[in-house]
Amino acid sequence: MDNLIYLRKSRAEEGLSTDEVLSRHRAALLELAEKLGLQVDGTYEEVASGEKLYARPQMLRLLERVRGGGVASVLCMDIDRLGRGGMADQGVIFDAFRENGTLIVTPEKTYDLNRDLDIEMTEFKAFFARAEWRAIRKRMRRGLMQTIESGGYTPNAPYGYRQCRRGKLPSLEIVEEEAEFVRFIYRQYLAGDGAQSIARQLNAMGSSPHRGAQWSRSSVRHILSNPTFAGKVAWNRVRHFRPGEHGRDRHHVVYMPESEWLLVDGAHEPIIPFEQWEAAQQRRRARSVPPRRSGAAANPLAGLIVCARCGRKMQKSGEYLLCPTAGCCAAARFTCIAEALYSALEPSVPRLRLRPRAVDALTSPLSAVGALERELARVEARLPRLYEFLEDGTYDRPTFLSRLESAQGELSALRERLDEARGRLPESTPSSPDVPPPGDLRELGERLSPAEQNALLKALVERVEYDKPKKTLPCEFHLTVVLRQLQ
């Protein structure tokens, strides 16, 4: 049976270097193992500082080994080091130790989670650890909001700035050689140039952004939308969500509407006047035509067509499908590409047999219901945070009431849309083991919404590679269709 060591730095040791803390703890636990006559068979050193279990890779590896059996004990400085986050994370950790009979060995006590007294003591310590964790989070959030409200800047420095400190306040200072290009972007945009045109001009001048080798339409738009360049500090522009939230298995971000930003005067110097930034926002809003639907809801080929040259997914813009990489493949009319794809699929359709659930579940209104349910869960998850912000002083009462009213209005609208979508659900679903797809995909496509067409095509097609040389006729492109293995 193996004996393992788990090392992790605590909040109380924030002033010390991670290497120094882990080295001292390692020596103490090796001395403890020698005193108890235990042979150490492995050490897991947690460098990540995340409180959540998914953000601690060494703990995840340790749990995998514990669940595999054969681990007699895990040595750590204190039981709190294993986990003091949410109850769910603590439950996952302690259940793994209890179910596999693994002891938790600390300098003060050895815990056997199959003994009632040790279980009670563990739960007691876990309760106080969670209370301390919540208190620390509130203090950190209050400190962060105080920094922001004082004009401090805590994220990574944007293009045109470098990080510095003004007294005790984290802030920014201008990098003049980059700031000239920021001024150029705003000047050209207000003179009538578009983001793609500005990106080409910047690349021709030899400039490059912090991330990436060349400027692109999106990186220019990011500069144009960021109020930091006008001397402001914006908070709550983007929210990050961990894996598992909103039904997604990856970390994801949500861009918040401008009405929910916290915008204050920054302690840093502006690169452009605030009036110039506002003028750019007015032009962006005037030029923007927000789609009624996005993604697969408006584009039945969304996520299917990739550029054969650069590998990026093609994007629908008006009547055309184009490669997002500047100067890559030439664009073609969307209707021509869709027609060519259906024509390429026709010879293969009779040979394919699909499980009805793989097609019907995707092509029915269930897909719309699922999307609305996920969006509803996302908005509902915002409500507890609003109350937390009120309790710890992040929001004053008027701000809280305004945010709450906005969230409740959004919830009401989503629930109405969800009720309508559920009303369109069929009363029953096919129960036959498998059925051949219809021979005429075009005929089926005419009866389906764009989102349902997209789901059907994705059930048939792995990907489609698109290539079109420049200066060729509108329909002179080539598609390489890779089918799914559905036989």
Could you read off the pLDDT of 219-239 as tens digits, one per residue? 999 999 999 999 999 887 777
Q: Which amino acid is at 28?
A: A
pLDDT digit string, tens, across residues 172-192: 999 999 999 999 999 999 998
Range in 309-313, 363-367, 381-385, 408-412 with the lowest mean pLDDT: 363-367
Q: What's residue 54's pLDDT?
A: 67
Max Cα separation, the chain?
81
Tokens 């908005």 locate to: 379
- Token code pair at residue 276: 């110039």
Per-residue pLDDT tens digits for 64-82: 899 888 899 999 988 877 7
Which residue has 């193992």 as its token pair? 33
Helix 217-225 and helix 176-190, axial crossing angle in degrees, nearest 10: 90
Portion of the chain with pLDDT greater than 70, in percent? 78
Which has the higher per-residue pLDDT, 399 or 249?
A: 399
List helix spans (H) across 302-365. 334-345, 356-363
Res. 424 pLDDT band, cuts 50 70 90: low
Residues 477 and 314: beta-carbon distance below 8 Å:
no
Averaged pLDDT, 48-57: 68
Cβ neighbour number for residue 327 with a 10 Å cutoff: 11
pLDDT at 472: 84
Q: Which amino acid is at 179?
A: A
Of 218, 199, 28, 52, the C-alpha closest to 133 is 52
In this structure, what token pair is assigned to residue 403? 């945010």
| Residue 415 pLDDT | 80
Does the pLDDT at position 354 exceed 90? no
Residue 67's CB is within 10 A of a number of other CB atoms, namely 14
Give the residue-averaged pLDDT of 138-166: 88
* Between 310 and 377, the higher pLDDT residue: 310
pLDDT value for 401? 76
Q: Which residue has the tokens 């991670």?
A: 18
Other CB atoms within 10 A of residue 152 CB: 22
Average pLDDT over residues 384-411: 72
CA distance from start to end of the chain: 47
Q: What are the counts of helices (DSSP H) followed by strands (DSSP E) for the chain?
A: 14, 17
pLDDT band at 451 (very low <50, low <70, confident <90, very high): confident
Closest CA to 477 of 345, 343, 336: 336
Pick the closest to residue 385 from 246, 239, 258 (CA basis).
Answer: 239
CA distance 239 to 300: 29
Non-local (6+) Cβ contacts of 194 within 8 A are none
Element (H, E) at 118: helix 116-149
pLDDT of residue 434: 40
pLDDT of residue 315 exceeding 70: yes
**Residue 362's pLDDT band (boundaries 50, 70, 90)?**
very low
Distance CA 23, CA 359 (A): 56
Cβ contacts of residue 449 below 8 Å, gap of 6+? 297
21 has a pLDDT exceeding 80? yes
Residue 446 has a pLDDT of 67
**Is 0.75 topped by the overall pTM?**
no
Please tell me the predicted confidence (pLDDT) of residue 435.
Answer: 39
Q: How far is CA 225 from CA 190, 219, 229, 318, in A?
A: 13, 10, 9, 23
Max avg pLDDT among 74-83, 187-196, 280-289, 437-446: 187-196
Helix-strand-coil split of the chain, %, nearest 5: 50, 15, 35
Residue appearing with tokens 């750590």: 76
Residues 6+ apart with CB under 8 A from 389: 395, 400
What is the rounded CA–CA span in Å between residue 293 and residue 299?
9
pLDDT band at 146 (very low <50, low <70, confident <90, very high): confident
